[in-house]
Structure 1
Amino acid sequence: MTTALQPPLPSHPLLRLRLAPHGVMPRPIDGAWWPRSYDLLVELPRLLAGLPRAWGHVNSVTVNGAAWSEVPGRMLVSNQVVRLRRNLTASAPHTVVLLAPGRGRWDLLVVPPDTAEEAAEPLMAGAAGDLGGAASHG
């Protein structure tokens, strides 16, 4: 029997995720996610696979905003069912909410996929709380 070595899949680019440090103070945003597209069926499995194990199994995801592709009621991710919802309220148009029973809720800022790296980096850093005292200009 021979075993062929599998080269890394080019369809699995680096996850662009930055999380705020775990602390005792509640935060309105727990980090930032910069997906490569608004195709939730492609992007969500990558996001969930890259989350800290301590977060447990996220079984409910709410995306905010109308830009996302069609959102089915649920999808299978790593042999686990994840419920999906879309929220169109104006209060948090660019966020995703992740729920894990018994573990918690995490709200992530979603940086639009077509954002230039120069613009995305300060957004990611600000959401993760690691600005290092640098002033941000908008």
Structure 2
Amino acid sequence: MTPTLFSQSAPLSASSAIPRADSALRLILHPVPNRRAVVDGAWWPYSRNAAAELPGLVAAADRLLDRVTLRVGVHGDTWQSLTRRIPARGRQIRVSWSRHTDPRLIILSFATGDPVVLLIIPPGTAVGTAEATLRLAAQDTAGLTPDDILTLADLPSGPRRA
């Protein structure tokens, strides 16, 4: 499969073979969840400011997945301005953080279906490298670790938790 990155005309349905993407938010999701894969997509935030970045991520994920996000799980040391709740379409989303999770991942939980795990591309990453990482994360990543994905995209693997 050759994914189309940031396709504005691509259908956003779960049955599509084209990755679902939001170019303004720099988010891409694998079209069909694979529970053997370590990530379901990738997100390239503009900053590490949780109050500024997470509401947009939740809104885009809700729209692309046609689900309602209930909770966001992050590594506590990775984000600034981290609060227990963030606004999202007339409701408050619970934000949970831990120092025992992988700081390179973010987890979105829903009322129905499995959670979605996204690889975080560090803000300030060069455009070409970030786009390569987004494309790679939209492919079948079964058998790859976050380190593998980042290395294949020429990004340093960075800090991790066991």
- Give the stretch that moved more between structures: 122-131 or 39-48: 122-131
Q: 119, 122, 126: which one pairs with 2:129?
A: 119
In the alignment, which of 87, 99, 116 is matched to residue 76 of structure 1? 87
Partner of 1:31: 41
CA distance in 2, matches of 1:137, 1:76: 33
Equivalent positions of 1:1-138 (< 5 A) are 14-23=24-33, 26-51=36-61, 52=63, 54-64=65-75, 66-89=77-100, 92-129=102-139, 136=152, 138=154
Structure number with larger C-alpha Rg: 1
Letter in 2 for 1:22: V
- 1:117 corresponds to which letter in structure 2? V
Matched length: 122
Given the two structures, how large is their TM-score scaled by the length of structure 2?
A: 0.66
5+ unaligned residues in a row in structure 1: which ranges?
A: 1-12
Partners of 2:153 and 2:87 in 1: how far apart? 41
| Structure 2 unaligned blocks of 5 or more | 1-22, 142-151, 155-162
Runs of at least 4 residues off by over 2 Å: 23-27, 52-55
